[in-house]
Amino acid sequence: MVIVFDGDIFEEKVQGYEELITQIENTDIAGVTNPGFELFLLLHIEGSYEGRIKDHEAEFLNMDEDGKYSYAYNVLREITGMNAKKNPEIGNLADNVLVAIAQEKRINQDIHDLKGKVSSNIGKIIEEIINEKCAC
């Protein structure tokens, strides 16, 4: 089973991240995005790493006035015109999963070392699944 969650809850609020990851990895696969899943969705858009992520890591990891990490959500909404949390059409980004996999390699993919880093290993997991399927 792949267990996916946002790493931003561990940036300021919760202790025990490494213990949680270790526990998950004993039997399952941990998929983590930091600060949130919208980062991985943003990676599906060609050129988003160069144009929106690179040199903007601090903005992704800063809380807004409501105490949320909403920069990735806001950038994704600006580019797509969609609310990623409510619009099912956001799923169409999956057509560009290979773009996301390639761009994700340019950010931190080590979920054991994500505090203070824009990070995702979702594409890495998907790539491993694709490669395993193709090896059959």
Q: State pLDDT tens for residues 27-63.
A: 999 999 999 999 999 999 999 999 999 999 999 999 9
Give me the residues paired with residue 34 across strands: 119
Determine the pLDDT at residue 134: 61
What is the residue range of 77's domain? 2-134
Give kind and range of the element (H or E) at residue 11.
Answer: helix 9-12
Rounded to 5°, angle at Cα 111 from 88 and 59? 65
Q: What local confidence, expressed as pLDDT, does residue 115 receive?
A: 87
CA 131/CA 106 separation, integer angstroms: 20
**Can you give the C-alpha Rg of the chain in angstroms?**
15
Strands 119-120 and 2-6, sheet pairing = unpaired
Low-confidence ranges of the chain (pLDDT < 50): none
Quote the number of domains for the chain.
1
Kindly give the pairing relationship between strand 119-120 and strand 29-34.
Answer: antiparallel
